[in-house]
């Protein structure tokens, strides 16, 4: 099985997550090639059994570069994909100290839904999705993030 992993990472958090995913999959004997989207060409994506896309959030959306990359990506209908994003951890309201409810978060954190819309419009098939939280804008990643990556890797179906 061959996986191509495309990520956008400004502060290195997405790159660390990609490396951890690559390490877990290598332990299963699966090849994962990691690419930064700024160094890859969306119209020249190499063939693979699965594609993983990862973007940090910017104002609750995937980065502009990732949205453009997904729009230009040329993959055949029926291609399998997964999403593993880095998102800013929810913060308490500064006035009330109250944490936002799930409904409020879903309204503002639309990274995964937007990426799914772009990919499914091309006929791609989702096999897994997940997110790793970043405690502050530039990091660090949440405590126990390696376990979340391992859990995500275990949900990836291994193809012969």
Between CA 58 and CA 44, with CA 54 as vertex, the angle to 5 degrees is 115
Q: pTM of the full predicted structure?
A: 0.92
The superfamily CATH assigns to domain 2-154 is Flavodoxin domain (3.40.50.360)
130 contacts 2 by C-beta, under 8 angstroms: no
Query: Per residue in 34-45, pLDDT tens?
Result: 999 999 999 999
pLDDT of residue 70: 97
Mean pLDDT by runs of 10 across the 160 residues of the chain is 94 96 96 96 96 92 96 96 93 85 79 96 97 91 96 87
pLDDT of residue 159: 67
Q: Rounded CA gap, 158 and 3, in Å?
A: 10
């Amino acid at each position: 099985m061959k996986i191509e992993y495309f990520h956008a990472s400004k502060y290195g958090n997405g790159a660390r997550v990609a490396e951890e995913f690559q390490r877990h999959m290598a332990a299963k004997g699966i090849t994962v090639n990691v690419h930064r989207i700024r160094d890859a060409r969306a119209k020249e994506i190499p063939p693979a059994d699965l594609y993983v896309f990862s973007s940090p959030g910017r104002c609750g959306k995937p980065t502009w570069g990732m949205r453009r990359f997904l729009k230009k990506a040329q993959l055949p209908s029926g291609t399998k994909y997964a999403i593993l994003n880095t998102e800013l951890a929810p913060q308490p309201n500064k006035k009330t100290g109250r944490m936002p409810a799930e409904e409020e978060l879903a309204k503002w954190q639309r990274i995964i839904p937007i990426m799914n819309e772009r990919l499914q419009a091309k006929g791609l098939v989702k096999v897994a999705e997940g997110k790793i939280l970043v405690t502050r804008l530039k990091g660090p990643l949440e405590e126990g993030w390696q376990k979340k990556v391992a859990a995500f890797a275990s949900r990836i179906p291994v193809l012969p």
